[in-house]
Amino acid sequence: MASASATGKLSREEFRRQKDLDAARKAGTAPAALDEEGKAINPHIPQYIAQAPWYLDTGAPSLSHQRIPEYDRSADKLDNWYDRGAKAGPAAKKYRKGACENCGALTHKKQDCLERPRKKGAKYTNRDIAPDEIVQDVAPGYDAKRDRWNGYDPSEHRKVYDEYAAVEAARQKLREEEIDKQTTTDLAAVRKVAKVGKEKGENRDDDFGSSDDEDEDQDKYAEAADAVGQKLDTKTRITVRNLRIREDTAKYLINLDPSSAYYDPKTRSMRDNPLKNVTPEEALFAGDNFLRHSGEAPEVQKLQLFAWNAAARGNDVHMNANPTQGQLLHHEFQKKKEELKDMTKVSILAKYGGEEYLEKAPKELLLGQTEEYVEFSRTGQVIKGKERVKTRSKYPEDVYINNHTQVWGSWYDPGSGQWGYACCHSIVHVSYCTGEAGIAAAQASSAKHLLASTSTSSMPPPAESTPPPPVEDRKEDRKKKAEELFSKRRLGEGELKLDQNRLVEAIGEERKRKARAEDDRWGKRPKGEPSGSTSHEVTEEELEAYRMNRRMTDDPMANYVDTGA
């Protein structure tokens, strides 16, 4: 057989000669080809088997690429793995050049260090130098490299087993403590079991972990143990018997209409009424919901729920084993619950009050209806019926201070033109009320002022009967009054003749007035001192003094600049 892996491209003559040699070897007229070991190569082996790939081609006829290579089997052991945590020796006492900057070991670099990164590495501190690790050259074989448990220490599983055992022991101890702490009306069986367990534990301290104790614990908690094949908690597990009598008509045969009540074949339940035109009282079957919520079914559900909750807290209550006991305990529980609720309500009301807000409002107020007839106009005014309550402002009203019975501004003194209190006729704000004595004193002072004004006045007596002036005279009088009121002299304009002495006095008074205004603004004026503001005719000297002492900032045209051309 010619070489199947001849190198280079054969010429036509060489290719024909090769084909003839292969045919002669197959016919047996030519000797077979020999491999590198001197063994004959079967000429009938197909070319795709005898021809070696390019990366294994040796240039000579051979079948070595089809044989398993021989290698050292001793190195291919499943337990051939790294020695974890092996150290080369004691740690160095000084940092060495080329070592890890973090821990100081020579076997790795800083980026490969597995220790916690230090704030200052061993390169700078020369402290806590880590020992060098043993670098092993382990070349696992094919099986060892693909073994997922290779290098695992079986002793590590012992820690997991011990942890689960400790958790189970703590859970068992917690259950015993919960049963011992529960205080119920009927705990005879539970206390008996707990007492027996304690007495046996006290009498047999030497053989605490014996098999007899374990058997007793298993019997003690056999009922609370999880059953095989169930993922539910045994405390809340419910046994449902959904069996029907064969003689009864199936629920899905009561009404064959597909649009009627839905039937669940898995739970064999039909919650709605299959016959909508038949009342539930007359129908043979009105749905599972009708049966579930009718009669004493809700009470039984409450009793069953109470029994489950009581059993979960360690009480010996079971509805099927002792229904009378469960019903009595439930009745007593409801009674104590109501008493505790009333006691809590009374204690809260006694501490914080507010019992008047718990009273129910009248039905008329709750529904917003009343028998009173009220008729309104188009503008919203009440024509017939009860008047609306006037809306009060957000500011305090009718607040009396300093023994006053009326508010400030409830009385006006026409003589002085000032406001005051109507209860004592005092025109001093925030003064103390003097009552009737103050009213008498105010009337006496006003009478004296009135007599003084009448004695000094030289007004002629009024005419008894004088005819009214004509219309033209009245118009002229109005023009004269208007000229007097709006004359330039009265407004402080034009040519004025001022008395210098009066002007000096007016300037001083104006300065005092401004000082009092500043004190009133900042609240520096003493209490009880009058502000000094009186109403009188302003003279020309006072007006001039006001203009002289006026600030330029008060003038709206003080900062005006004409930007026009």
pLDDT of residue 368: 65
pLDDT of residue 208: 42
**Is residue 463 in some structural domain?**
no
Cβ distance 32 to 25 under 8 Å?
yes
Boundaries of domain holding 314: 251-336
Looking at the structure, do residues 384 and 444 belong to the same domain, yes or no? Answer: yes
Please name which of 298, 267, 268 lies closest in space to residue 285, comparing C-alpha atoms: 268
pLDDT digit string (tens) for 383-396? 777 665 667 777 77
* Domain end (from 450, 472, 504): 450
pLDDT bin (cut points 50, 70, 90) of residue 207 is: very low
Please give the residue that has the higher pLDDT: either 534 or 300. 300
Burial of 475 (0-12, 13-18, 19+ CB in 10 A): exposed
pLDDT of residue 171: 94
pLDDT of residue 376: 80
Burial of 497 (0-12, 13-18, 19+ CB in 10 A): exposed
pLDDT of residue 124: 93
Cβ distance 288 to 267 under 8 Å?
no
Looking at the structure, do residues 375 and 405 belong to the same domain, yes or no? Answer: yes
Task: Name the least confident of 3-7, 179-183, 368-372, 555-559.
Answer: 3-7
Looking at the structure, do residues 285 and 318 belong to the same domain, yes or no? Answer: yes
Task: Name the least confident of 46-50, 224-228, 477-481, 488-492.
Answer: 224-228
Looking at the structure, do residues 255 and 331 belong to the same domain, yes or no? Answer: yes
**Is residue 424 in some structural domain?**
yes
Q: Can you give the three-state secondary structure of 512-544, one letter per residue?
A: HHHHHHHHHHHCCCCCCCCCCCCCCCCCHHHHH
pLDDT at 424 over 50: yes
**Is residue 241 in some structural domain?**
no
Q: Which two tokens stand for residue 514?
A: 């401004």
pLDDT of residue 535: 57
Looking at the structure, do residues 380 and 443 belong to the same domain, yes or no? Answer: yes
pLDDT digit string (tens) for 102-145? 999 999 999 999 999 999 999 999 999 999 998 888 877 777 78
**Is residue 160 in some structural domain?**
no
Residue 461 CA: distances (Å) to CA of 238, 292, 465, 530: 118, 109, 12, 38
Looking at the structure, do residues 269 and 332 belong to the same domain, yes or no? Answer: yes
Residue type for 263, please? Y
In which region does residue 38 sit, left (phi positive, over 0), alpha (psi from -120 to 50) or beta (all else)?
A: left
Q: Which residues have a Cβ under 8 Å from the Cβ of 226 and sit 6 or more positions away? A: 233, 234
Cβ distance 47 to 2 under 8 Å?
no
Cβ distance 492 to 527 under 8 Å?
no
Alpha helices, DSSP H, located in 151-210 = 156-181, 188-203
pLDDT digit string (tens) for 175-193? 888 888 765 444 455 455 5
Cβ distance 84 to 151 under 8 Å?
yes
Looking at the structure, do residues 63 and 103 belong to the same domain, yes or no? Answer: no
Residue type for 413, please? D
pLDDT of residue 259: 82
Please name which of 450, 453, 397, 402 lies closest in space to residue 426, comparing C-alpha atoms: 402
> Which phi and psi angles does 399 have, rounded to 5°?
-100, 115
What's 162's DSSP letter? H
**Is residue 210 in some structural domain?**
no
**Is residue 365 in some structural domain?**
no
Q: Which residues have a Cβ under 8 Å from the Cβ of 541 and sit 6 or more positions away? A: 498, 499, 502, 503, 505, 506
* Average pLDDT of every residue of the chain: 77
**Is residue 58 in some structural domain?**
yes
pLDDT of residue 12: 92
Q: Which residues have a Cβ under 8 Å from the Cβ of 394 and sit 6 or more positions away? A: none
pLDDT digit string (tens) for 238-277? 555 556 677 778 888 888 888 888 888 888 888 888 888 8
pLDDT bin (cut points 50, 70, 90) of residue 313 is: confident
Cα angle 388-394-395, degrees, rounded to a multiple of 5? 120
How large a percentage of the chain has pLDDT more than 90? 19
pLDDT at 230 over 50: no
**If DSSP codes are grouped into helix, strand and coil, which group holds residue 34?**
strand
Please name which of 257, 256, 260, 279 lies closest in space to residue 271, comparing C-alpha atoms: 260
How large a percentage of the chain has pLDDT more than 70? 70
pLDDT digit string (tens) for 352-371? 988 888 877 776 667 666 66
Looking at the structure, do residues 61 and 94 belong to the same domain, yes or no? Answer: no
Looking at the structure, do residues 383 and 430 belong to the same domain, yes or no? Answer: yes
| Spatial separation of the C-alpha atoms in residues 125 and 129, rounded to whole Å | 9
pLDDT of residue 458: 47
Looking at the structure, do residues 434 and 379 belong to the same domain, yes or no? Answer: yes
**Is residue 357 in some structural domain?**
no
> Which phi and psi angles does 86 have, rounded to 5°?
-75, 135
Looking at the structure, do residues 384 and 414 belong to the same domain, yes or no? Answer: yes
Looking at the structure, do residues 500 and 423 belong to the same domain, yes or no? Answer: no
State how far Cα 154 lies from the chain centre.
48
What are residue 384's DSSP bridge partners? Answer: 375
Taking every pair of C-alpha atoms in the chain, what is the biggest distance, in angstroms? Answer: 182
**Number of structural domains in the chain:** 5
pTM of the model: 0.23
Q: Which two tokens stand for residue 120?
A: 């200052």
pLDDT digit string (tens) for 439-488? 888 888 777 766 665 555 545 555 455 555 665 666 677 777 666 655 55
Mean pLDDT value of segment 5-19:
79
* Domain end (from 79, 109, 136): 136
pLDDT at 3 over 60: no
pLDDT at 49 over 70: yes
pLDDT digit string (tens) for 155-174? 889 999 999 999 999 999 99
